């Protein structure tokens, strides 16, 4: 069976954990205690996801993905490719919209309280800031929905179709 390499699998699972945790923090931050410093951690994880996404995209362009099962219908192949493209877009756009949005604020942007990260030269009234804020929230919900679909599709391939698609990444 053709599988993804060790680096691709490690990036996939590390990013999956970071993304799921960050979506949770983003959705639940108002309900969590303020002294937990949820938002600075959320921002740091977002920056980490952005950096790892760039690395992952570069890695992906230099490596061939394993072939999909020969008997997979064309619509399913198309859905798989569209989903993966959407994931890469989310990995880039969601952190960038967050970075733009918080760049207009007064709070510092740092990476896990270790060093400051430069902000974009934007102000609160700028259209890009408003668009980024709205996009960040809407895309967060859209990404969560797509992740649920992705997980359900992986389970379908593993338990119902038994076609080895999930084993390529584990």
- Evaluate if residue 1 carries a pLDDT over 80: no
pLDDT attached to residue 130: 97
pLDDT in tens, 36-80: 999 999 999 999 999 999 999 999 999 999 999 989 999 999 999
pLDDT attached to residue 34: 86
Q: Is residue 136 part of a domain?
A: yes
- Non-local CB neighbours of 169 within 8 Å, separated by 6+ positions: 3, 4, 9, 12, 13, 154
pTM: 0.94
Q: Is residue 15 part of a domain?
A: yes
Q: Is residue 85 part of a domain?
A: yes
How many structural domains comprise the chain? 1
Q: Is residue 1 part of a domain?
A: no
Domain that holds residue 55: 6-168
CATH code, domain with 112: 1.20.950
Q: Which residues pair with 111 in a beta bridge?
A: 115
Answer for the pair 86, 94: CB distance below 8 angstroms, yes or no: no
pLDDT attached to residue 2: 87
pLDDT in tens, 99-152: 999 999 999 999 999 999 999 999 999 999 999 999 999 999 999 999 999 999
- Evaluate if residue 153 carries a pLDDT over 90: yes
- Evaluate if residue 156 carries a pLDDT over 70: yes
Other CB atoms closer than 10 Å to residue 127's CB: what's the count? 8
């Amino acid at each position: 069976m053709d599988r993804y390499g060790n680096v691709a699998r490690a990036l996939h699972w590390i990013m999956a954990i970071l993304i799921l945790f960050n979506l949770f923090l983003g959705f639940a931050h108002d309900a969590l205690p303020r002294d937990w410093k949820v938002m600075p951690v959320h921002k740091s994880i977002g920056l980490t996801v952005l950096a790892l996404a760039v690395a992952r995209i570069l890695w992906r362009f230099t490596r061939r993905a394993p072939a999909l099962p020969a008997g997979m219908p064309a619509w399913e192949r198309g859905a798989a490719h569209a989903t993966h493209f959407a994931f890469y877009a989310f990995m880039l756009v969601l952190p960038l919209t967050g970075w733009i949005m918080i760049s207009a604020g007064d709070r510092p942007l740092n990476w896990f309280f270790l060093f400051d990260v430069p902000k974009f030269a934007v102000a609160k009234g700028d259209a890009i800031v408003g668009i980024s804020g709205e996009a960040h929230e809407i895309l967060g919900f859209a990404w969560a929905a797509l992740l649920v679909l992705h997980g359900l599709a992986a389970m379908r391939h593993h338990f119902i179709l038994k076609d080895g698609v999930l084993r390529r990444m584990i």
